[in-house]
Amino acid sequence: MHHATRLSAGLILTFTVAGAYAQKPDTYPSRPVRFVAPFVAGGPSDILSRMMAAKLADALGQQFVVDNRGSAGGIVGFEIGAKAPPDGYTIMLAANSGLTINQHVYKKLPYDPERDYIPITQLTNGGNVMVVHPSVAAKSVQEFIALGKAQPGKLNYATTGTGNLLGAANFAKMAGITMTPIAYKGTGQALVELVGGHVQMFMMNPLVAIPHVKSGKLRGLGITSLERNIALPDMPTVHESGLPNFKYLTWHSILAPAGTPRPIVNKLNAELVKALNMPDVKQKIQGEGLAVIGNKPEDVIALIKAESKETAELVKAINFQKL
């Protein structure tokens, strides 16, 4: 069956099953809720999950307990979320890599992104910041590319999952350079190594990158969306720095296990959209140059379908070897 057709069928089935187990939303939650964050502490997933967990707890009167399960680029956390009971007492924070990228770059996954989850809402969307340690002799994307061509194979970059791995691989392919990936368990660990000068480049989520760029601990070279970041208006995009149409976007959403009753999904959606529009949350997220979304489950389904198709085409175009 065609990839997109399978995705549609799986998600429609999810809503059907959820409807069969519908319960009154006013009885939920009656006990603490586990909030799985599939990356280690200190990264954007951790920041967003704790922010949303606090708002949900305030609104619904129960604890939302963040459970960091960072390993294997988030796969361990995604597997936990997939196998959890679909009763509303496990939700998870998901980067788009786990939903639209992993299945195209891994030969085998212990979860099925098309079958195992139902989206609740998308939280954020935006480009990343291509940052380097100040010791790297490049002050622009073009200078970084020139450095790579002058020193073939000597440049390295941090990866914390398949998103920035594929993004950097596409960058190298378009730039005509060779770089060596160095894998870390999460953004927090990669950041320590980058600030310490042990790795040279990282395409990092702006929630974490921008404070370090503004402090001078890291040097920002370019933004990986097609538009500039409103928090770094003077920094050019990679697209306008000699690699036309280059983009590497990151977005986060909140999911529930497939089969979670639709009234619970709707209740969580409503509270999360309210939280995202609270001034303190909006200011924090937009202040770091990310767009605040807060949409319906069906909108996330459509996004997953479109981006998964794009990723499959990119993997084929750059001849990415599956892991």
Note the pLDDT tens digit of each residue in 194-237: 999 999 999 999 988 999 999 999 999 999 999 999 899 999 99
Q: What is the mean pLDDT of residues 255-279?
A: 97
The answer to whether 63 touches 6, Cβ cutoff 8 Å, is: no
Say what the pLDDT of residue 13 is: 47
Say what the pLDDT of residue 25 is: 62
Written in H, E and C, the secondary structure of 26-62 is: HHCCCCCEEEEECCCCCCHHHHHHHHHHHHHHHHHCC
Note the pLDDT tens digit of each residue in 84-94: 999 999 999 99
Say what the pLDDT of residue 24 is: 60
Say what the pLDDT of residue 185 is: 82
Question: Which pTM was predicted?
Answer: 0.85
Top pLDDT among 45 and 202 is at: 202
Q: What is the mean pLDDT of residues 6-29?
A: 54
- Say how far apart CA 199 and CA 196 lie, in whole Å: 8
pLDDT bin (cut points 50, 70, 90) of residue 266 is: very high
| Share of residues in the chain with pLDDT > 70 (%) | 91
